[in-house]
With several copies, the nearest count.
Chain A
Amino acid sequence: MSKKVAFLQGNEAAAHGALYAGCDFFGGYPITPSTEVAEVMSVELPKVGGKFIQMEDEIGAMAAILGASLAGAKVLTSTSGPGLSLKQELIGYGCIAEIPCVIYNVMRGGPSTGMPTGPSQSDVMCAKWGTHGDHPAICLTPASVQETYEEVIRAFNLSEKYRTPVMVMPDEIIAHMRERIVFPEKGELEVVPRKSPTVSPEQYKPYDTSFGDVPPLAAFGSGYKFHVTGLNKMQDGFPTTKAEIVQAEEERQVRKVDANVDDIVTFEEYMLDDADVVVVAYGSTSRSARYAVNVAREQGIKAGMFRIKTFWPFPDKQIKALAGRVKGIVIPEMNLGMCSLELERCAQGKVPVLGIFRVDGEPINPDQILEKIKEVK
């Protein structure tokens, strides 16, 4: 039996990925260039008994998905730069209260309203540092329509597994380009269910670390009653200012992700075995990079690509290893140098990091990258 195929935009694929992952609640506020996600969800969710709600603004949308997730739903919101900035306060709420949710953010030109229809990659830093306070961050940067579909599913899985907000951040090119997508059969891809409590309602504590760093989460309305707050809290969910508890809980929240980088961090290595020059790239830019690497190889240059699929946690270990092996790192980004700073941190002065930074709404083309590859001596 042949699989279902379709010719879709990245955004449409994202919506279908969410449905595959069992998403049954979408709260959003329209913004270019992410509107197609909401549009598909508004059509598809009610068909499967799910709920689509268009809230009054992005803050309301973020609040609604957090509320719905606490009531047991698998939740998604979609937005773009200005909306992401507005959601920041409540993203922090999701982190501290440990509420699974997926935030799909299409990167367009910024800051502010910027260039709503132009691609960019300049939201990657605020994916980690946007909200105030210490918190974990997971952010995926897909590079094709198929991958957008799959990474949205993975985002749901990570979100449930680690009980924390997860972001998927395609750039506008990936979000709006159309490619053929092959839909997996039901059961073909892993779908991680929420870890529900095994104890009785009387014994249940929403942050009970006796079950490990990621305690089970009960749903409102499922027979369990408990308290959730955005204040620093104890294992039973009630607020505390006790220093030891606060420190321990904050560290656990971050450790959940940091101690599991090997499970979370994914990447692709392309022609790296013998590479002298490595192009580190993510999102649509990695497609230009692969093109450029191919051309470079044809011209006898030992170039390769390290493609970041999981932007946060950052692939520190892998980059550090690479830095010890190659002569130069080229990083093309549709921003003024963000990933570049992380690479410098990881490269530790061992190899030069050469950036190609474009924020003009145009894609970085293979030629530019090739040129830069050739600069590495």
Chain B
Amino acid sequence: MAFDYDKWIRPGKLPHIWCPGCGHGIVMKGLIRAMETLNLKKEETAVVSGIGCASRLPGYIDCCTLHTAHGRAAAFATGVKMAKPEMNVILVGGDGDGTAIGGNHFIHACRRNIDMTYIIMNNYIYGMTGGQFSPCTPTGHKASTTPYGNPDPGFDIAKLAIGAGATFVARGTAFHANQIDKLIVEAIQHKGFSVVEILDDCPTTYGRRNKYKSVIEMMNRLKEVAVPVKAAEKMTAEQLQGKVLTGVLYKEEVKPEYTAEYAKVIERAKASK
């Protein structure tokens, strides 16, 4: 049976604004399937984003949705979650939004380990503003502001999140569409701050400039570079050259979750009265 996406999409809001072949739509579908799997209550679920193409996602989802300012999703969401810890709080956005201007809020959300799930749609570029390089654009690649090839090294978002203290980090790709929901389900179920990076593509501003002839070519690249963590264990460093690990990259359950810790502060404070 066809999956009933409509149940989660606000009536009248499609078609969405994304370009033909933009990966963000594929990620949105994965998120919807995950929400359905978990049977989330729409009224008890907040979907929060910053600004960017990816950040337009909340407008389509029939929940409590918050399209904040560029880079600020994690900080707004922290406020929502602290005020209403019983809500499911899901953050969505682009690589630029999350790791450039939003980098500080991102690492601090990781540090606090507050129970929210952050889905980063990493298309290696600032799509919305027309294709300037982002902190995730690979070195040497072309963007509208790197006419001579990008001199900047890119972030490894997963490594950054782990370094900052996140307790669940996963990576998928828009090609591996049927895994997206599974990663998101596991992330939402995780008690603590979880990061799900989905590599996807911006054919419009990134693909053309970097000589990808079509959306399909870009999709196939995702297929080729991805190596599931399990498979990678059996591969040599050489074989892993240029590859990107996918699946659940990191998970720990020792570090306490932030709102639960704050509940204890309240207890202690009340006891002290």
Contact = CB atoms under 8 A, between A and B. Distances in A.
| A and B associate | yes
Interface of A: 24-25, 27, 29-32, 35, 38-39, 42-43, 45-47, 49, 51-61, 63-73, 75, 82, 89-90, 93, 112-113, 201, 219-231, 238-239
Contacts of B13: 238
A262 B42 CA distance: 42
A67 B64 contact: no
A60 B129 contact: no
B108 A55 contact: yes
Nearest to B49: A229
Contacts, number: 189
A46 B78 contact: no
A56 to B, nearest CB: 4
Interface stretch (B27-35, B97-105, B165-173): B97-105
B86 interface: yes
A89 B68 CA distance: 11
19 contacts: A31-B129, A43-B147, A54-B132, A58-B101, A60-B72, A63-B69, A64-B75, A65-B79, A67-B80, A68-B83, A69-B79, A89-B69, A93-B68, A113-B51, A220-B46, A220-B80, A220-B84, A227-B66, A239-B67
| Main SS class of interface, B | mixed
Contacts of A32: 128-130
Interface in B156-194: none
Given A220-B87, A221-B86, A223-B43, A38 B145 contact: yes
A45 B229 CA distance: 43
Interface of B: 10, 13, 42-44, 46, 48, 51, 58-59, 62-72, 75-84, 86-87, 100-101, 103-105, 108, 126, 128-130, 132-133, 135, 144-148, 152, 262, 265-266, 268-270, 272-273
B108 A63 contact: no
A31 B65 CA distance: 24
Given A72-B84, A238-B13, 15 more contacts: A30-B126, A35-B130, A43-B269, A54-B152, A60-B78, A61-B75, A63-B68, A71-B87, A90-B69, A113-B69, A221-B86, A222-B43, A224-B43, A230-B68, A231-B67
A37 B64 CA distance: 31
B145 A63 contact: no
A222 B104 CA distance: 30
Contacts of A69: 79, 83
Given A51-B83, A70-B66, A73-B83, A201 B43 contact: yes
Given A32-B129, A42-B145, A63 B82 contact: no
Contacts of B78: 53, 55, 60, 63-64, 67
B101 to A, nearest CB: 4
A89 B75 CA distance: 14
A82 B69 contact: yes
Contact of A227 (B58, B101, B130): B58
A225 B63 CA distance: 5
A63 B75 contact: yes
Contact of A29 (B46, B101, B103): B101
B69 A112 contact: yes
A64 to B, nearest CB: 4
